[in-house]
Structure 1
Amino acid sequence: MKGTAASIICLFYLVILVDSERYKPTWDSIDSRPLPDWYDKSKIGIFMHWGVFSVPSFSSAWFWEQWKTAKLPAVVDFMKENYRPGFTYADFAAQFTAEFYNPDQWADILAASGAKYVVLVTKHHEGFCNWPSKYSFNWNAGDVGPNRDLVGDLAQSIRNKTDLHFGVYHSLFEFYHPLYLQDAANNYKTQDFVRIKTMPELYELVNRYKPDVVWSDGDWMVNDTYWNATQFLAWLYNDSPVKETVVVNDRWGKNIRCKHGGFLNCNDKFNPGVLQKRKWENCMTIDRKAWEFRRTATFADFLDLKDLTREIATTISCGGNLLVNVGPTPDGRIAPIYEERLRQMGGWLKTNGEAIYESKPWKHQNDTIRTGVWYTSKKTESGLSVYAIVLDWPDNDVLHLGAPSPTSTTVVTMLGYKGKIDWKSGGKQGGITINMPIISINELPSDSAWVFRMDGLNK
């Protein structure tokens, strides 16, 4: 009997221990989960907005809503001038053909960008699923349009061809789903849409594609309790096939943004310019005006490499990750302007990634006297290395930095430049004065931003 009693007591304490290690469906418990290391180390990701909205390619991914509800004159006129009477938004799905979609080619471009993860839009607010979901009959890429699994094909190529982490974007709500409209009409006192449609899709996505990022959106009209957000996240962290690696954002209810979740997005293009207490992400677009491919875009609408390096510097120095968006064409191509920008960014990161990947914010995020200079830091073989990312070449070829405090053992180098850097202590002003290398532009490692590594500074 004593042995039996002892076994029961041990089993009792084992159950308590196991239960205590599980995350509960409360925000205090969900927020206590440590963010997997890979995400902070990665720093750069690629966002991909692709769906039926890519077919009209006219205004935005909100095209359907702008046409039928907001009735934006430009959108209404576009439809009148280019499509037959009676044409419906659903008719666009058959034109979402993706005939030139080559996931291996996408994987090559994404790897060349220097990014470490990719987040593919699997379902936007229009409700069309880019995978053959059993919860979206005849409104998914398996049943209509491409007649293939767009999500699964890219996931396979990413994992076979690159070392990038694969992630999925999923919109909780849909513009015109009858169950969602019914719940909204009931002031969200019913949850038929959540129970029958949107949450089953999320479980299906995770179990089928095992993403390392679940990027939620479409949450802003109602609180998290309607979405059953904490129940899903507790399952994701406790029992899902990606429980050890997955990261999530903060878009799980209108009361949750910028407060709870794995990392904080807050708002689109969130870039506070100062160090944040929690890990955050700046999701932004190469096309200044849209997230998806636009046939009406002009060359001036696109960020250039200098714009991108500015976003990288200002984001990473303040502890954020940068999620750079591109919009593929409806026939499945990454347009040349996007490919060029991604490969340019990858070239810059190949030279200067030492200052970006696995870095940490320094005690100063930007310089104390010189604008356009942002700092990161990293533990290296020489101790703590500090990196100054210089966005603008000084007019007189002399760079004064106020934040670094040099010592007799300080060494200054420029990433990607083999020559010796001429520098000295800033004297009474303090800091460091660097004579910028005056050589052919072809010999410089970049023409958009330059990174100086400083070792042996005062702590």
Structure 2
Amino acid sequence: MTSREDLLTVDWSRFQRPLPGWYADAKFGIFIHWGAYSVPAWAEPSGELGTVDEHTWFRHNAYAEWYWNTIRFDDSPARKHHQDTYGDAPYDDFLDAWRAEEFDPQDWCALFARAGARYVVPTTKHHDGIALWDAPGTAARNTVHRGPRRDLIGDLAAAVREAGMRFGVYYSGGLDWNVTPHLPVIDTSANVRALRPNDAAYAAYAYVHVRDLVDRYRPDVLWNDIEWPDGGKHDGRLGLAELFRHFYATVPDGVVNDRWGDTHWDFRTSEYQHHLDAEGAPAWENCRGIGLSFGYNQVEDSRHLMSGPRLVRHLVDVVSRGGNLLLNVGPTASGLIPDGQRRTLEGLAGWMAVHDGVVHGSHPLDAGIAEASDDPWVRWTRTGDRAWAVVDAPGRVVLPARADRLELSSAALADGTPVAAQADPAGVAVELPSRDAPVAVGFDVR
């Protein structure tokens, strides 16, 4: 008989393997946070995660998807908003009010593909415990039996793949406020982990959910959040090691993120300005919203949303340093992508129509050839033997590069327009057109 100690002692290194090429080349994916929290769609736009002190963050949480936790602070503006707007209505009333009546997954995915996304990862169960598919063990507390009354994950999986993108799933294994006794308020980062469910029963519940997602939808990405229950970190039946084995057997070129505790990962993750230390890993992904929230927040406006050009800069900055960007879209409860978010994505789509070759399949350029700069703003990528300087400055710009390592006569914009380039004591001088968004000038590498 295997002892409990033996089960908990797992050699997680057995799961290490080369990163699948599709993920390394993808560079850009779309995250989708959509749930019952999209009905109240309310949060204070207090700032980006990682820039707001902890005491302020939880009481004034910028994440609309954390609404159920934020309204449980006696002194939070979210609680006052809830009481003024909904009285004492319980959170689950929002599940029944969520209809998704305007949801058009083909329209969503056409936009995502135009914007250059190569994979899409929707939330299947967030911290509120509501499943967006007919998850085993949830009875009627899912979108098939209540609210939208449809398998939203199945609809999205089909549309994503029809549009030529890879499909992944997000699952909150670390928090489930529906199974947490007495629903304590989470007010510190330490309590995010201290108050998470860790018992064997919840671990089995989460295991069955994720295995069902793997079997039904064959996701290319398993994106767990927060942690995995300690009671399930073993190599026995219903254990995390068994789950990883089953996933890789079912999807041999699938990938998993790093939010399973101290176990196994294929890529690390940062979030807004949080966990930036992860960005030094061999494979990493930055996730963030177009605004300050992942779930749709009706309080946000143009002051809080990234513009198209700003998104271009962020995407290129991440890619130039070897990362992927997982950009979140937060639809309305009815199923529409809000106008502000759509404008930003359309702006990126226009840029990617010309510059996709600067991003997809690229790698960081050797620092011995050229370096990044913030004044002027310049980032570098490399595809094959072509080095790309993405520049957010018009007119004459001196690029911080070694002129002897670049074929200056080959300089051209991404659309093929030749660019005059000459050696300069400070690098390589080019003359660039004035555009609303950064432009890329490419050089053959010597």
Q: TM over 0.5, yes or no?
A: yes
* 2:377 is the counterpart of 1:375: no
Alignment of 1:35-434 (within 5 A): 35-59=19-43, 60-68=64-72, 70-85=73-88, 87-160=89-162, 162-178=163-179, 190-195=199-204, 197-219=205-227, 225=233, 228-237=239-248, 239=249, 241-242=250-251, 244-253=252-261, 255=262, 260-269=264-273, 272=276, 276-287=280-291, 289-364=292-367, 366-367=371-372, 371-379=376-384, 384-393=385-394, 397-406=395-404, 409-426=407-424, 428-429=425-426, 431-434=427-430
Distance change (3 Å), C-alpha of 1:181 and 1:205: farther
The 1:366/1:222 distance shift into structure 2, 3 A limit, reads: farther
**CA–CA distance in structure 1, aligned partners of residues 107 and 374 of structure 2:** 45
Residue deviations 1:77-104 (CA, integer Å, cap 9, x gap): 112111244x111111101110111111
Distance in 1 between the 2:67 and 2:316 partners? 33
Partner of 1:28: 13
**1:302–1:66 Cα change, 3 Å:** same
State how far apart, in whole Å, the 2-side matches of 1:402 and 1:187 are. 48
Q: 1:38 is matched by which residue type in structure 2?
A: W
Distance 1:411 1:112 in 2: 32
Percentage of matched positions with identical amino acids: 28
Q: CA deviation at 1:155?
A: 0.8
Q: Is the 8 A contact 1:274 1:318 kept in 2?
A: no
> Deviation of residue 218 (structure 1)?
2.7
Structure 1 residue 201, shift from structure 2 partner:
0.3
Question: For 1:261-305, what per-residue CA distance to the aligned partner results, in whole angstroms no more than 9, with x for missing partners?
Answer: 011004445585997341000101101x21111111122111001
Q: Quick one: distance in 2 between partners of 1:264 and 1:414?
A: 35
Unaligned regions of 5+ residues in structure 2, if any? 1-8, 44-63, 184-192
Q: Kindly state the Cα deviation for residue 185 of structure 1 after the two structures are TM-superposed.
A: 9.5
Aligned partners of 1:425, 1:113: CA distance in 2, in Å?
Answer: 35
Separation (CA, whole Å) in 2 of partners of 1:321 and 1:134: 32
Quick one: distance in 2 between partners of 1:273 and 1:415? 34
Three-state SS of the structure 2 residue aligned to 1:92 is helix
Distance 1:456 1:332, change over 3 A: closer
Q: Distance in 1 between matches of 2:156 and 2:195?
A: 39
Q: Does the residue aligned with 1:433 lie in a helix, a strand or coil?
A: strand
Compute the displacement of 1:414 (Å): 3.3
Output the CA distance in 2 between the equivalents of 1:410 and 1:73: 59
Q: How many residues align?
A: 404
In structure 2, what residue type is equivalent to 1:448?
A
Amino acid at match of 2:11: T
Distance (Å, rounded) in 1 between the aligned partners of 2:38 and 2:335: 10
Three-state SS of the structure 1 residue aligned to 2:382 is: strand
**Aligned mates of 2:116, 2:153 — CA distance in 1:** 21
- 1:119 CA displacement: 0.6
Change (3 A) 1:362 1:407: closer
The one-letter amino acid of 1:377's match is R
CA RMSD of aligned residues (A): 2.8
For residue 139 of structure 1, what is the amino acid of its counterpart?
R
| Alpha-carbon separation, structure 2, partners of 1:236 and 1:79 | 41
Q: Which residue of 1 aligns with 2:60?
A: none
Q: Is the 8 A contact 2:378 2:392 kept in 1?
A: yes
Q: What TM-score comes out, normalization by structure 1 length?
A: 0.81
For 1:234 and 1:172, the matched residues in 2 are separated by 18
Structure 1 window deviating more from structure 2 (73-82 vs 206-215): it is 73-82
Distance in 2, matches of 1:422 and 1:398, equals 10
Partner of residue 11, structure 1: none
Is the 2:268–2:281 contact (alpha carbons within 8 Å) kept by the matching residues of 1?
Answer: no
Q: Shift of residue 401 of structure 1?
A: 1.7
Alpha-carbon spacing, 1:192–1:392, altered in 2? closer, same or farther (3 Å): same
Residue of structure 1 equivalent to 2:49: none
The amino acid across from 1:263 in the alignment is F
- Alpha-carbon distance change, 187 to 62 in structure 1, aligned in 2, over 3 angstroms: closer
Which whole-Å CA distance do the structure 2 matches of 1:450 and 1:423 have between them?
15
What SS does the aligned partner of 2:108 have?
Answer: helix
